[in-house]
Amino acid sequence: MTTTEPGTSRTAPPSILPAARAIDLVKTYGKGDAVVHALDGINVEFESGKFTAVMGPSGSGKSTLMHCMAGLDTPTSGRTFVGEREIGKLDDAGLTQMRRDQIGFVFQSFNLVPTLTARDNITLPADLAKVKVDQAWFDYLVGQLRIGDRLSHRPSEMSGGQQQRVACARALIERPDLVFADEPTGNLDSNASAEMLAFMRRSVTELSQSIVMVTHDARGAAYADRVVFLADGKVVDELVSPTADSVLERMKQLGS
Ligand code: ADP
Ligand code: MG
């Protein structure tokens, strides 16, 4: 028998498993004198239903970490898990299914299909999976991200910020358990950036979405529950319940 404290919800028991984790993750590019240790033995957990920010200087391995943990790139050694499933143990079909059903990815460079309208870009993952788009969820995302008047435009007819928001809607359309977002506010002005961050925060707080976001903006990182700091392919620090000031202070200490 388990007991429930008064006032606590019984409907959403805390998940013990992290949304994703990496064990001794190494990614090496090149050979000999030209070798680059993009990831140099990373051990990290990203909690379920939490918003984690990843920070670090340019070239510290942030994008490589996101790509390896989302199964978009293969590590040189080490293990990565999404929930209980180990990515390296999946066959091609399993990996495709995981990327489609469990993971959303917002790329640093959007990766929208230039010949498709915003609407068709957003629904592409569902269309490829041959599943019906949840129209209410589509409308919600489009409304939250304020791209309703851009749905018939192609990427070349949209600003960087609008493309970024379309890319975000596309990452979320299939309600993935876990979203990786690589500098999702990198192309947004401060107002649009604050809106995007508030949207992600609400997705975590209200919908229990798990989000891992790369950012180099201390104010952006302050929306997260925890900040993980990388340097030279290693996790060098972390900060729980960050504020913009505490993040800036920590960045100063780390010399980045
Ligand atoms: P960040 O996102 O933190 O700026 P990256 O993960 O993109 O860093 O890169 C980490 C390191 O790996 C950098 O030194 C970068 O030059 C190197 N790197 C990334 N991708 C490649 C690649 N395809 N080939 C060779 N080196 C790479
Ligand atoms: Mg990067």
Mean pLDDT to the nearest integer, 16-32: 94
- pLDDT at position 102: 93
- Whether 71 lines ligand 1, by a CB cut-off of 6 Å, is no
Residue 2: the pLDDT is 46
Query: Has residue 225 got a pLDDT over 60?
Result: yes
The pLDDT of residue 1: 45
Pairing of strands 85-86, 36-46: unpaired
Give yes or no for residue 31 CB within 6 A of ligand 1: no
pLDDT, tens digit, for every residue of 130-148? 889 999 999 999 999 999 9
Percent of the chain with pLDDT over 90: 78
Confidence of residue 8 (pLDDT cuts 50, 70, 90): very low
Q: Please report, for residues 49, 71, 136, the alpha-carbon distance to residue 86 in angstroms, rounded to integers and kept in the order given.
A: 19, 10, 33
Greater confidence (196 vs 7) lies with: 196
In this structure, the residue with its CA closest to atom 1 of ligand 1 is 59
pTM for this model (two decimals)? 0.90
61 lines ligand 1 (CB under 6 A): yes
Which residue among 25, 29, 60, 74 is best mutated to probe the pocket of ligand 1, counting the most ligand atoms within 8 A of its Cβ?
29
DSSP the chain: -----TT--SSSPPP-S-SEEEEEEEEEES-GGG-EEEEEEEEEEE-TT-EEEEE--TTSSHHHHHHHHTTSS--SEEEEEETTEEGGG--HHHHHHHHHHTEEEE-TT----TTS-HHHHHHHHHHHTT----HHHHHHHHHHTT-GGGTT--GGGS-HHHHHHHHHHHHHTT--SEEEEESTTTTS-HHHHHHHHHHHHHHHHHH--EEEEE---HHHHTTSSEEEEEETTEEEEEEES--HHHHHHHHHHHT-
In the chain, the amino acid numbered 198 is A
Distance CA 160, CA 79 (A): 35
Contact 208, 219 (CB under 8 A): no
- Please tell me the predicted confidence (pLDDT) of residue 5: 47
Mean pLDDT on 153-159? 95
Residue nearest to atom 14 of ligand 1 (CA): 59
pLDDT at 15 over 80: no
Measuring from atom 26 of ligand 1, which residue has the nearest CA?
29
Q: Which atom of ligand 1 is nearest to the CA of 58?
A: 4
> In this predicted structure, what is the pLDDT of residue 108?
82
The pLDDT assigned to 9 comes to 46
For the CA of 30, the closest atom of ligand 1 is 25
Q: Which two tokens stand for residue 183?
A: 């500098």
Q: Which numbered atom of ligand 1 lies nearest the CA of 64?
A: 6
Does any ligand 1 atom lie closer than 6 A to the CB of residue 75?
no
